[in-house]
Every structure is written in C-alpha cells, then in structure tokens.
Amino acid sequence: MATVRTGLLMAGLTGLFAVLGLMLAGEAGAIAALLLAAAMNLFTWWNSDRMVLSMHGAEEVDGRTAPELVAMVRDLADRAGLPMPRVYLLASDQPNAFATGRNPQNAAVAVTRGLLRALPRTEVAGVIAHELAHVRNRDTLVMSVTATFAGAISLLANFALIFRAGDSRQNPLGLVGTLAMMVLAPLAAMLVQMAISRTREYEADRIGAEICGQPLWLAAALERIDGLSRRIDNVAAERHPASAHMFIVNPLHAFAHDRLFATHPATASRVAALRKMASGAPRRTTPGPWA
C-alpha cells in the first residue's frame, strides 16, 4: 500500500512539475520538466532520506558518541520488530524529531539536541517510539519524497513567476493563467502533504504508544514539545519549510507564511486520543527500562 501511495503521489507531483515547465517555456519547457521529474523520481526514491538529513545538518551518532540514545533506539526497535535504524542528532535547540528512509531496512531516526535536553527519558522514549511507528507503517518514504518534490515545485514556481509571468507569446495561458498556476501549484503540493500528514500522525501516535508501552509518555512529550517549539526557532526547518510535515510536531512558527505548512493535527486532539487510549484497554506491552 505504501508503494502504491508513493507512486500516485509522485505521479501527481510530476504532473504539477510538467505544468510549471509549460509556464516557464511552453511545450519545450513541459517536456524538459517531465524529463527532470522522471530523473527526480528515481533519485528521490533512493536518496530522499539523505537529502532531508542533509537539509537539516544531521550528524550520525553511534554507541560511542551517544550511547544512551542509541541504546534506547535499539531497544525500542527490537520491541517494534524493526531492524536497528541509523541514529542522527540535529543541532537545533527546538525539541523535535523525525524519521526518514525508503523502507525499514534503510531507515533513520533524527532527534534534536533540544529534545534530549528538554524531555525526560520516558518522554524521549515516547517520541522515538512514534518515529519508529512511522518506519513500521512505511510512512517515511512518502514523507521524504513529498518533502523533496514539494520543495522543488515551490522553487520552480518561483522561477516561473520571475521569468515568465509577463511573457504571453510562449505561454498559452497568458498572464492571468501564469499567476494562478504560480499560486496554485505550490498550494496543491502542500495540500498533498496535509492529506498525508494528518491521518498518519494519529496512527503513529497509537502504534508508538503500544511500542513504548505508555501512551501518557507520548502525550506528555507532545504537550512539552508543542509548548517549547512555539518559543524556540528551528532555523533549518524555516529554511526548508516543505519538510515540516516530517517532524513529530510542526517546527514552524517564525514567519506569517508558516501557517500554510501546518500539516499536523492539533496537538490537543492527539493528546486527547492518547489519554483515551491509556484509560481504555490494557496495554499490549510493558514499559521499557526508561522510567
């Protein structure tokens, strides 16, 4: 199912790419954009995780450089029935985290230094379990591909607006059509992100709570991250807002346009669902050694 979703997503974004190419240089531009999109499809399928990690200046760590974090990820991955993912640290002071990778065998979990400083070990475990749930659900490929393609579409739209908005000779839609496409294409890409993100976050919360064994750990983590992220900038995320949907909580807040990238459900709604889960049926797993 994840492969089908990713294929449909890439096809839709390729179509947007082609239309923007038409805006830039007519039929020749559309053909060039299709060829570029085909190359991007292949490249992002295999390298989107590296691209996203590079965007955020991620530093890989191991049992020697971050023993407690790596041990926690390994234990939670075992509980989730997953291979051990690569582990990365992000320099940001904002507490946050994301997962990436085209499949569980090539997955990576990245957490900010701010997360490790601000959250107790139980809540860090809840966050990592949430990210491992994305890996197990194979959300990470869709998330990474969407981030790279949406960013490329926004960039191409900006080029089209600058260089072709007033040139009606090679542009069959004219000035009005060009301006409309420059606005609608990036918004369409963002709507795809939103449709993916809002449903997958609830499911990752549920499975993550089962992996760590304590829904309230994740609920507390979400509340703490949400409160702190509103006051602490994530410079890398602001520089690459198309990747915002990958984080456990929306990292954007510094600029007015950031609300266009609000791809996450309300934190209060997610916390309420986790609390309901905690008060309902008995947990399937026992808590790990992080309390």
Catalytic member of 131, 201, 203, 223? 131
The b/e string for 241-263 (b: 16+ C-beta within 10 A; e otherwise) is: bbbbbbbbbbbbbeeeebeebbb
For residue 53, what are the contacts with CB-CB under 8 A and spacing of at least 6? 88, 100, 108, 110
Q: Which helix (H) or strand (E) holds 204?
A: helix 174-212
Each as own residue / partner, the long-range contacts of residues 278-281 (CB below 8 Å, 24 or more positions apart, any chain) are 278/209, 278/214, 278/215, 278/216, 278/219
Residue 131 among the catalytic residues:
yes
In the numeric block, the tokens 């008995």 are attached to 282
Residues recognised as catalytic: 131
